[in-house]
């Protein structure tokens, strides 16, 4: 009598996702950020105020039934501006993260797979970029690029890719010595084939963890640039320029809702994304397979 075949064991991605679901903090962060994104995307459908609508009868009004988060000094609804600021902040963060992930992967993979001279030249360039003082480099780039959504995306993207490039290179240096990669080279596979067929699939875990943590970092960078007047320019709302508008002593003391709600949204989003990133990092950790 033939034995029944054993059930197929789950793959590494399925095992990683299962470990992620066991991380309570990561699941909590995922729920929080999902609710925030849902509110940010849907608020124009059910909220009666737009970010730049002015209510002259409610200037500096406190939180209430009409204005949940109160209003600012010219009568604009804080809730609408927090939601719209979240949309802009997340747009900047996600777009800049995608761009920096593409740059970092390509630089790291080309360095590892294109040969000794390409590796030497690429890594010296990465070392040069990483030695530049990040704060000064950020401010110089921002002053050159100007204000607005896309200049801010460009500045954050150019600042964020070197660390990923080094991580991808480290992973693929070990991969390029394996038999299947050497066999592909022997059969005439070019660099694009090696990058897409072997480099990308074996770097997915690094890219996922980097992207998650970098989104939180990009939100903070955008908020910092906007707070300094080098990011998103008014009247467009972002969490950073809302905090900048509320930095005076009178507002800090008399109208705390004008900085409390955008600051709270910023902290909550960054904490939630960091929880998700930590959970993904632990889930994709190869050492977790031994536990």
Domain boundaries, the chain: 20-39+78-286
Angle value at C-alpha 40, between 34 and 46, nearest 5 degrees: 115
pLDDT digits (tens, 9 = 90+) for 77-93: 999 999 998 998 889 99
Is 20-39+78-286 a domain of CATH 3.90.1150.10? Answer: no
- For residue 163, give the nearest of 134, 135, 196 by alpha carbon: 134
Q: What is the maximum span of the chain, computed from C-alpha positions, in angstroms?
A: 86
Residue with the bigger pLDDT between 123 and 187: it is: 123
Please determine, for residue 131, whether its predicted confidence score (pLDDT) is greater than 70: yes
Please determine, for residue 37, whether its predicted confidence score (pLDDT) is greater than 70: yes
- For residue 274, give the nearest of 203, 207, 218 by alpha carbon: 218
CA atoms within 13 A on the CB side of 196: 4
Token pair recorded at residue 278: 């930590």
What confidence score (pLDDT) does residue 14 get? 76
Please determine, for residue 54, whether its predicted confidence score (pLDDT) is greater than 90: no
What confidence score (pLDDT) does residue 151 get? 85
How far is residue 133's CA from residue 2's CA, in Å, rounded to a whole number?
68
Q: Within 10 Å of residue 284's Cβ, how many Cβ atoms?
A: 20
Q: What count of residues does the chain have? A: 291
Across 20-24, average pLDDT: 85
What confidence score (pLDDT) does residue 1 get? 45
Mean predicted lDDT score pLDDT of the chain:
83
What confidence score (pLDDT) does residue 35 get? 94
Helix residue ranges, H only, the chain: 12-21, 24-46, 78-113, 116-131, 134-145, 149-160, 162-175, 179-186, 191-193, 204-227, 239-245, 249-254, 257-283
**Is residue 76 classed as helix, strand or coil in its secondary structure?**
strand
What confidence score (pLDDT) does residue 240 get? 86
Please determine, for residue 189, whether its predicted confidence score (pLDDT) is greater than 80: no
């Amino acid at each position: 009598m033939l034995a029944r075949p054993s059930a197929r064991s789950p793959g590494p991605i399925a095992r990683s996702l299962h470990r992620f679901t066991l991380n309570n903090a990561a699941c909590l962060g995922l729920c929080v950020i999902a609710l925030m994104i849902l509110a940010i995307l849907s608020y124009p459908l059910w909220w009666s105020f737009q970010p730049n609508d002015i209510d002259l009868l409610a200037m500096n009004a406190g939180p209430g039934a009409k204005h949940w988060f109160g209003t600012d000094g010219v009568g604009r609804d804080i809730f609408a501006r927090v939601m719209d600021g979240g949309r802009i902040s997340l747009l900047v963060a996600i777009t800049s993260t995608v761009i920096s992930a593409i740059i970092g992967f390509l630089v790291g993979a080309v360095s590892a797979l294109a040969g000794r001279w390409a590796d030497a030249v690429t890594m010296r360039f990465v070392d040069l970029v990483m030695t530049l003082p990040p704060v000064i480099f950020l401010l110089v780039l921002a002053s050159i690029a100007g204000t607005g959504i896309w200049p801010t995306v460009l500045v954050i993207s150019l600042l964020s890719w070197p660390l990923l490039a080094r991580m991808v290179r480290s992973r693929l240096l070990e991969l390029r010595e394996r038999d299947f990669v050497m066999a592909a080279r022997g059969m005439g596979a070019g660099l694009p084939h090696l990058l897409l067929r072997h480099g990308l699939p074996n770097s997915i875990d690094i890219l996922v963890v980097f992207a998650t943590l970098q989104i939180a970092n990009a939100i903070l960078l955008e908020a910092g640039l906007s707070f300094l007047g080098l990011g998103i320019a008014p009247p467009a709302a972002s969490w950073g320029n809302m905090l900048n508008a509320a930095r005076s002593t009178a507002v800090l003391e008399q109208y705390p809702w004008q900085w409390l709600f955008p600051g709270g949204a910023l902290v909550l989003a960054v904490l939630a994304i960091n929880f998700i990133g930590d959970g993904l990092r632990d889930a994709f950790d190869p050492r977790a397979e031994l536990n």
